Amino acid sequence: MLLAQGHYSIGCAYAPASPCVMAELQPGGQLIFYKLDPTKGKGDEIARLQNYNLPNAHWSLSSQGTQIAIADPGQYVVRIVNLQDHKVTTWPTHLPSTVAVSSVGWSADATQLFAILYSESSMAAVYLDSHGNATRLYEVPTERGFLTNPIGSPDGRFLAFTQRSYISDLVMLENF
């Protein structure tokens, strides 16, 4: 499938007969979600978010294929799109104003979120319950690494995420 210019990403649910979703990040800060038709490509529009002014979209489709969680660090919120009625709501977060949610992933039962939090001093993988309370699971100072893309396993026992580690070395050349 060849896609036109723009920034696209795709997500599919674990559950059988669940939808795949395609996101298109358009210039001007619009993030648009579509059903993904395996034979035709971009299908019907699901939801459209305004003022998403980031170079890459950070979102996750629930394992049942019923909800999309969207990290919006520019707005300091997590938005939830319900695929049944296409309504957009906000997941509660009780975070300081200096902490942004940079990426999200669903728990196996889609009742909680895993999130990567970013602040000037650290990046942390956390568990966000339905009331917005964060439980810190892993943390790295920002000068030592970068975390992204939390993914919970279908059985709810494991959490995977990407960590890029920064190495600081001192090199001394002599007699060059």
pLDDT one-digit tens code per residue, 134-147: 999 999 999 999 99
Highest mean pLDDT out of 27-36, 48-57, 58-67, 117-126: 117-126
pLDDT at 4: 43
Task: Please report whether residue 126 resides in a domain.
Answer: yes
| Average per-residue pLDDT for the chain | 87
pLDDT at 27: 83
Residue 41 has pLDDT above 60, yes or no: yes
pLDDT one-digit tens code per residue, 80-115: 999 999 899 999 888 888 899 999 999 999 999 999
Range of the domain at 142: 7-165
Task: Please report whether residue 175 resides in a domain.
Answer: no
Ordered DSSP codes for 88-141: EEEE-----TT-EEEEEEE-TTSSSEEEEEE-SSEEEEEEE-TT--EEEEEEEE
34's enclosing H/E stretch is: strand 30-37
Task: Please report whether residue 161 resides in a domain.
Answer: yes
Task: Please report whether residue 43 resides in a domain.
Answer: yes
pLDDT at 6: 56
Task: Please report whether residue 91 resides in a domain.
Answer: yes
Task: Please report whether residue 170 resides in a domain.
Answer: no
Residue 176 has pLDDT above 90, yes or no: no
CATH number at residue 120: 2.130.10.10
Mean pLDDT, to the nearest integer, of 49-72? 89
pLDDT one-digit tens code per residue, 3-33: 444 577 888 777 667 778 999 988 888 899 9
Task: Please report whether residue 110 resides in a domain.
Answer: yes
Range with lowest mean pLDDT among 10-19, 42-51, 75-84: 10-19
Residue 128's closest CA among 69, 85, 83, 87?
A: 69
Task: Please report whether residue 172 resides in a domain.
Answer: no
Alpha-carbon distance of 145 to 62, in angstroms, equals 27
Q: Report the domain count for the chain.
A: 1
pTM: 0.85
Mean pLDDT, to the nearest integer, of 40-63? 87
